[in-house]
Amino acid sequence: MLTRLLSDRRLLLVALIVVTVLGMAVFVPTALQPGILLNMSKFGVVVGILAIGQTVVILTGRGNIDLSVGSTLSLAGVILALLATSGVNVWLAAVAAIAVGALLGAVNGLLVTVIGVPALIGTIGTLFLYGSAALVLSGGIAIGGFVTDGFSVISYGTLAGAPFQLIFVMIPLYLIVGFLLSSTRWGRAIYEVGNNDRAATLVGLSPVGVRMSAFVLSGTLAGVGAVVMTAWLLTSRPEAGAGLELMALVVAVFGGTHIFGGRGTLSGTFLAVVLVTLLNTGMQMAGIEQTWQRGVLGALLVGAVLLNNFLGQHRS
C-alpha cells in the first residue's frame, strides 16, 4: 500500500510540501508571509527553469545528464553583462546570452551524441570549461553598472504581487515544454528514445537528433536562466551558477524522473521545485548558511535516488 502510494511521486511531493509548510509554520512562521515567499520564488524560478532542461535530458536515457547547466548560466550571464557594458542594448545582449546558451548546449550535445562521450564526464568537462571561461572572461570579478533600459522589469515587475519572471517566464515554459512532452511527436520521441534506443530507431526516430535537441534545450534554458538572474541581481558574477547544477539535478530526480531515462513528468519536476524553494526559504529565514543548504540538498539527492531504487526493486 505504502509503496503503491509512493510510486506516484507527485502524491509524495504534495505530502512533503504540506509537511514542509507545517514545519515552517512552527519553526519559522515569518517565512510564510506572501511577500517573502514571492520574493524567494525568484530564486526558485532560476532553478525551475534549469530543471526543465535537466528533466528532458535525463528522460532521453543512456545515463544522459547535464551537469554543465550552472556553468552555462554563469558564462551566458558574463557574456550578457560584457555586451551590455560595452554599449550593446541590454535586450539585445539578453538575446545573445540565450543564443550562447543554445550554442553551449549544442557543444554538449555534440560531445555526447556525435562523439559518444558519456554524458556524465562530457558535461563535467564542460562544467569546468564553461565555468573557468566565465572566470577568465570576467577576470574573476562581478560585472555590473550597465544601462538597464527597464531590463529589471523581468524580475521586479509584479502582477498581483507575483514577480513577472514567475508568471511570464517560468510558468509559461513549464506549460509549453509540458505540452510538447505530452502531446507532440517530439515529446513521444524523447520518451521512446529514453525507454528503448533500438526500438525507437526501428520506428524511424533518430536517437542522435532527439538527444541533441534535449541538450540544446537545456543549454538554451540555462541562457534564459542567466537573463532572469541578471535582471534580478543587475550584475553578473562569474560564479553565479555554481551549485545550480546540483539544484537542478535534485529537483529533476526528486520530481520522480528516473535517472536512466524514459520515465518522469514535468509536473513532478514542478512540484519538486516548489518543495525545494520552500525548503530553501525556510532555511534562509532560519539563518542557515548556504553551504549547509547545499549539504542538505546533496543529502536529499542521494536520499531521493536511494528511494527511487528501493521503490524500483519493490515493483519488479
Binding site for other proteins (CB under 8 A): 63, 65, 67, 111, 115-118, 120-122, 124-129, 131-133, 135-136, 139-140, 243, 246, 249, 253, 259, 289, 291-292, 294-302, 305-306, 309
CB of residue 245 vs other proteins: minimum separation in angstroms? 8
CB of residue 195 vs other proteins: minimum separation in angstroms? 18
CB of residue 101 vs other proteins: minimum separation in angstroms? 18
d(CA 127, CA 234): 24
Classify strands 162-163 and 235-236 as parallel, antiparallel or unpaired.
Answer: unpaired
CB of residue 191 vs other proteins: minimum separation in angstroms? 20
> 93 or 247, CB closer to other proteins?
247
CB of residue 314 vs other proteins: minimum separation in angstroms? 13
> 107 or 210, CB closer to other proteins?
107
> 166 or 245, CB closer to other proteins?
245
- DSSP code for 32: G
Alpha helix stretches (DSSP H) within the chain: 2-7, 9-27, 34-59, 69-85, 90-109, 119-138, 153-156, 164, 171-183, 185-195, 197-202, 207-233, 244-254, 266-285, 290-315
CB of residue 296 vs other proteins: minimum separation in angstroms? 7
CB of residue 103 vs other proteins: minimum separation in angstroms? 16
> 32 or 117, CB closer to other proteins?
117
> 62 or 188, CB closer to other proteins?
62
Residue burial 263-297, b: 16+ Cβ < 10 Å; e: rest: bbbbbbbbbbbbbbbbbbbbbbbeeeeeeebeeeb
> 175 or 299, CB closer to other proteins?
299
Q: How far is CA 19 from the centre of its chain?
A: 24
Q: Check residue 261 and give left, alpha or beta (phi > 0: left; psi -120 to 50: alpha).
A: left
Closest CA to 75 of 231, 223, 235: 223
Q: Check residue 73 and give left, alpha or beta (phi > 0: left; psi -120 to 50: alpha).
A: alpha
> 132 or 206, CB closer to other proteins?
132
d(CA 23, CA 10): 20
CB of residue 264 vs other proteins: minimum separation in angstroms? 14
Closest CA to 126 of 174, 172, 72: 72
> 67 or 83, CB closer to other proteins?
67
Residue 235 three-state SS: strand
